[in-house]
A and B are shown apart, each in its own frame.
Chain A
Amino acid sequence: MAILVVSENWGGNFKKSTYEAVSYANEIAKQMGTSTTALSIGNVSNETLQSLGKYGATKVLHAQHDKLNNFNVQVYASVIAEAAKKEGSQLIILSNTFAGKSLSPRVAMKLQAGLVTDAIALPSSVSPFVVRRKIFSGKAFSNVELTTAVKILALAPNSFHLVEANASATIENFTPSFNDADFVSQHKEFKKAGGAISITEAEVVISGGRGLKGPENWGMVEDLAKILSAGTACSKPVADMGWRPHHEHVGQTGIAIAPNLYIAIGISGAIQHLAGVNSSKVMVAINNDPEAPFFKAADYGIVGDAFEIVPKLIEAFKEYKSSLN
């Protein structure tokens, strides 16, 4: 009856979103008087698996097999469903990452489970089971009741804090019964994204818009990002004009992000842009137009020329960083 939480490893390491999901699962487990079992698919060292215990997993099912070396949505969904049945889990938690978004609906169908994606808080009640999620691209929220026996939640990254439980996890090898029909899709290659830091995971994102006048002026955006260990993003027109790659486009038709800090430079703040970034905890707008709509949505603003402000900001952050040492 344990809650099953699905961990995600990339190159053998867990990301923060996985520890958030384990913390979240364990808080619900306390509420429901049960324990937390984590599932790990792929090659991960025992030491790294143990780290799931730190956030409350008392058992880790480790599915390790040559057939699991590359992500395959059908195969992975079957493994998760099988693990859930083995554990008798009535509640399964995933992260609402790209992998979690593609896996969770398939697992839900296999288990005839109700599913809430983009969950942003602990269930407000477990009977009936009600969870809050974002809708209308973050322009509103809704409380959703799941009416099924088995339930699945996909937790929005960076919406739940880490909670240390310091449990010790028992690691158990789990060999799933593979189904040949799942192996239709073949892995060809993985193309690593150009930027050093993925914007869906970054805690700080620096974003540039048309106000920067041309791709040659992105050096200062990158310099600022480097100091803050931030990811770099851009507005839609910038991606459409080919100044920056499409995978940096955040907004309604691009990628939705939820960092702790979002700094928008030379972006007016059209409603379609805000739809992709309004889940950021704190937003800063830098724009030379005092009437730019972004100033209505931002927490902090500076009116002025980006070419004058950003270099000063770089110096100020550098000074701040060196004061920490």
Chain B
Amino acid sequence: MKILVCISSVPDTTSKISFKDSSTFNADGIQFIINPNDEFGLTKALHIKEAGAATITVINVGLADTEPVIRKALAIGADDAIRINAQPTDAFFVATEIAAIAKQNNYDIIFAGKESIDYNGGMVAGMLGELLSVPSYTPCVGMELQATSVTVECLVDGGKEVQTSKLPVVVGGQKGLVEEKDLRIPNMRGIMSARTKPLQVVQPSASAHHELYKGFELPPAKAGCKMVSKDDVKELVNLLHKEAKVI
């Protein structure tokens, strides 16, 4: 079984977001982590590996500054890594670059997150599925592997859709694929071995771009929270009806 796990390097979930001159993300003092939705996929891949035989390759599209996050994935238990040396400007570019690698290697399962927590595009899993002509399941909240097939549970509006397919498939992970308590913290042995695991750097195959990000803005500051006395909850109902007009 060959598994590919796509990972993004994203600002930690607790980061305060700001921009320099409204066109560049301000990375000063920001801690970067494996995109949480990708980490659920990586952890599921580790479960599959531990239940049978599998090799896990992680892949990232990014410049050299994403290597600490790639090394962390190796420290948690991935076997090797590929970094496509380019700025991940849009999902079309990222998916096309990853698909070019995937086509050469015949992976059985490709994990990508349902979305990255920075740009929230949620496109890479579906685009990869299309480029490889295989099913894409996203957001996937449950997965059971049989010998050559897989049964998955995906969120749809109003419930969960259960489907089954032969391999290969693309899975857009989120919490539920594994639980938060299953996520791993690298131990010292893992961190040491990650230093010597292969990390291959490849140049992009010059894909085109479809989306251009033109400047960033923060939401307008809130006017402030209007406090209502706990002894006068009727006032809240009144405000929601007359002022906020939401009921």
Contacts and interface: CB of A to CB of B under 8 A. Distances in A.
A146 B210 contact: yes
A309 interface: yes
Nearest to A132: B217
A140 B219 contact: yes
A178 interface: no
A191 interface: yes
Contacts of A101: 114, 122, 126, 138-139
A140 B118 CA distance: 10
State which size class the interface on B falls in: 35 or more
A257 B230 CA distance: 27
Given A106-B136, A141-B216, A261 B240 contact: yes
Interface string B160-173: 11111110010010
A271 B157 contact: no
B236 A316 contact: yes
Interface of A: 8, 10, 15, 70-74, 77, 97-99, 101-106, 108-110, 112-118, 130, 134-148, 181, 184-193, 198, 200-201, 203-204, 228, 236, 240, 246-247, 249, 252-255, 260-261, 270-272, 275, 278, 281-282, 284-285, 295-305, 308-309, 312-313, 316-317, 319-320
Given A101-B138, A186-B164, A261-B240, 7 more contacts: A106-B136, A136-B117, A136-B120, A140-B17, A186-B165, A302-B227, A305-B230
29 contacts: A71-B156, A72-B163, A73-B135, A102-B136, A106-B136, A114-B210, A130-B214, A135-B119, A136-B11, A141-B219, A143-B213, A147-B211, A148-B210, A185-B163, A187-B161, A190-B159, A191-B153, A198-B157, A200-B157, A204-B247, A249-B175, A253-B36, A253-B180, A261-B240, A271-B16, A299-B244, A302-B227, A308-B230, A317-B247
- What 3 A-B pairs have minimum CB-CB distances, sorted nearest first? A105-B126, A304-B230, A114-B210
Interface of B: 11, 13-14, 16-17, 19, 36-37, 91-92, 95, 114, 117-127, 129-131, 133-139, 141, 151, 153-166, 169, 172, 174-176, 179-181, 209-219, 222-223, 225-230, 233-234, 236-237, 239-241, 244, 246-247
